[in-house]
Amino acid sequence: MGRLKLVPRPLLFTMLALLWMTALFLFSSIPGNHVPLPNIDDKLKHIVAYALLGFLLAAAVASHVGRLAWYHVAAVTLLAFSYGMLDEYHQSFVPLRNVSFGDVIADTFGGFIAALWARRWVIIRKPGTT
């Protein structure tokens, strides 16, 4: 019996990445420190949030092209960096929020680590791809 496909995998991961980007934008629109997140280190929050984004972007790329090469990891990292910069710029207009390049570094690191992990996961699942 075949598997029911409601949404093609490439479209699913792309939609999930866009949905998560929207959630990040909405979270960063909340004034001050009223964001409903666990009380953990700010940089760790950024790393985890952008790791999820990086994984979803890497999964979207891998499902579109069938592999995840090093330049795909670099592209995902660049997207995480760019969205982190855009998010910090956006926060400059939100009352009681501050702009931090350290947050952008944490965002980039999270996206990079997730893309790297996703690349390793794709290679393990599909031997012989680079």
Give tens-digit pLDDT for 81-104: 999 999 999 999 999 888 999 999
Predicted confidence (pLDDT) at residue 127 exceeds the cutoff of 70 = no
What is the arithmetic mean of pLDDT over 12-17?
A: 95
Termini Cα distance of the chain: 32
Question: Which parts of 35-100 fold into alpha helices (H)?
Answer: 42-65, 70-91
* Average pLDDT over every residue of 19-25: 97
DSSP 22: H
- Position with higher pLDDT, 4 vs 59: 59
Sequence-ordered list of residues with C-beta below 8 angstroms from that of 122, at least 6 positions apart, any chain: 62, 67, 68, 129
The whole-chain average pLDDT of the chain stands at 88
Q: Quote the pLDDT of residue 1.
A: 47
Q: Which one is predicted more confidently, 36 or 73?
A: 73
pLDDT, average across residues 55-83: 94
pTM of the model: 0.85
Q: How is the chain split into domains, by residue range?
A: 9-29+40-125
pLDDT in tens, 33-58: 666 666 778 899 999 999 999 999 99
